[in-house]
């Protein structure tokens, strides 16, 4: 399975690109970075990533991204393998202004449904108990219970990852075949029922760095004419499902609170696709 290369604090830039361009960028990277050793052993140089996203009944976490909130977070449960002994990771991904912060802990697979159902974590739930892991899971459960968050969507893709160690840890990923489908349970099965392709056949390229933006990475952006964009897999997956008339279960239908100000509504409209704009206007009126 992939070695945990998580950066707890970083900056990241996202681009959605054709696969043919991704192959050219891979060649550009070779002198500067090394391929993730686990992915390098796979026939397609990539490994599967599965994430179960949790949200409140009114999809508050989804909506905070639609709103463009500067400080927001997501709750997800991530796994890479479909084996009883393989670890499962509880993750909090926060955005504070332009910086990304992550908390993550590995737990035993069989306890995941119990923890999501509200059972308090125990020391033997962890793959390797340490204060950082215990704190991360405690914070996850606190946020989950505060929001009454439950499973909402399963997002999966194939990830090709490149790494560079040092003071300014760098990580570049190519995520292909990004798929999403509704998921209301914590079964953690890789199979998906009628998933949508969130970005079609295009690839999500992410440039991740912990310190300065390297000169060669800036050259990469300029040489290939990359244009930075938003590519939130969970949020865009929900939007794509609704565009294709594959709504989430009724219990998770988004609700726009009536106390939102006109300024907030205008910001929502600017950030939303046409079908959500119509829904927002109808509810505001």
Q: Which domains does the chain have, with CATH numbers?
A: 9-254 (3.20.100.30)
Helices (H), the chain: 19-29, 37-40, 60-67, 112-116, 131-147, 215-223, 233-243, 262-271, 274-284
225 alpha-carbon distance from chain centroid: 25
With CA atoms as reference, report the closest residue to 14 among 168, 164, 235. Answer: 235
Query: What is the pLDDT confidence band of residue 263, given thresholds at 50, 70 and 90?
Result: low
Max Cα distance, the chain (Å): 57
Tell me which of 249 and 78 has the higher pLDDT.
Answer: 78
pLDDT in tens, 162-218: 998 765 689 999 999 999 999 999 989 999 999 999 999 999 999 999 878 899 999
Which residue is it, tokens 């992939």?
A: 2
Mean pLDDT for the stretch of residues 141-147: 96
Tokens of 29: 């990277």
What is the mean predicted confidence (pLDDT) over 6-18? 84
Lowest mean pLDDT among 37-41, 47-51, 144-148: 37-41
Neighbours of 268 (CB within 10 A): 20
CB 124 within 8 A of CB 115: no
- Tokens (6 digits) for 65: 């991204």
Look at residue 249 in the predicted model and tell me its pLDDT.
60
- Judge whether 196 and 237 are in contact, CB under 8 Å: yes
| Reported pTM | 0.83
Q: 50 phi and psi, to 5 degrees?
A: -120, 130
At which residue do the structure tokens 């690839």 appear? 203
Please, are residues 247 and 276 in contact by the beta-carbon 8 Å criterion? no
Interatomic CA distance for residues 13 and 205, integer angstroms: 8
Check if the beta carbon of residue 77 is closer than 8 Å to that of residue 89.
Answer: yes
- The end-to-end CA distance of the chain, in Å, is 51
Q: Check: CB of residue 44 under 8 Å from CB of residue 142.
A: no
């Amino acid at each position: 399975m992939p070695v945990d290369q998580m950066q707890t604090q970083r900056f990241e830039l996202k681009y959605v690109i054709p696969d043919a361009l991704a192959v050219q960028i891979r060649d550009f990277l070779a002198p500067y970075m090394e391929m993730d050793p686990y992915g390098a052993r796979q026939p397609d140089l990539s490994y599967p990533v599965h994430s179960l996203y949790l949200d409140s009944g009114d999809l508050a976490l989804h909506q905070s991204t639609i709103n463009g909130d500067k400080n927001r977070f997501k709750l997800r449960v991530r796994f890479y393998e479909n084996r009883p002994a393989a670890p499962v990771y509880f993750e909090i991904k926060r955005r504070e202004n332009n910086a990304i912060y992550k908390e993550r802990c590995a737990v035993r697979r069989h306890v995941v449904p119990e923890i999501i159902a509200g059972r308090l974590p125990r020391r033997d739930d962890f793959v390797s108990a340490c204060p950082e892991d215990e704190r991360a899971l405690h914070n996850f459960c606190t946020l989950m219970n505060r929001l009454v968050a439950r499973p909402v969507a399963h997002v999966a893709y194939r990830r090709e990852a490149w790494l560079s160690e040092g003071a300014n840890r760098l990580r570049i990923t190519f995520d292909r075949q990004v798929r999403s489908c509704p998921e209301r349970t914590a079964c953690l099965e890789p199979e998906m029922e009628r998933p949508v392709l969130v970005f079609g056949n295009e690839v999500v390229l992410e440039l991740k760095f912990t310190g300065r933006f390297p000169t060669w990475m800036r050259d990469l952006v300029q040489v290939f004419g990359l244009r930075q964009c938003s590519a939130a897999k969970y949020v865009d997956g929900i939007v794509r499902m609704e565009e294709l008339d594959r709504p989430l279960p009724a219990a998770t239908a988004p609700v726009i609170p009536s106390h939102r100000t006109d300024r907030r509504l205008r910001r929502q409209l600017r950030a939303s696709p046409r079908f959500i704009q119509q829904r927002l206007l109808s509810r505001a009126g």
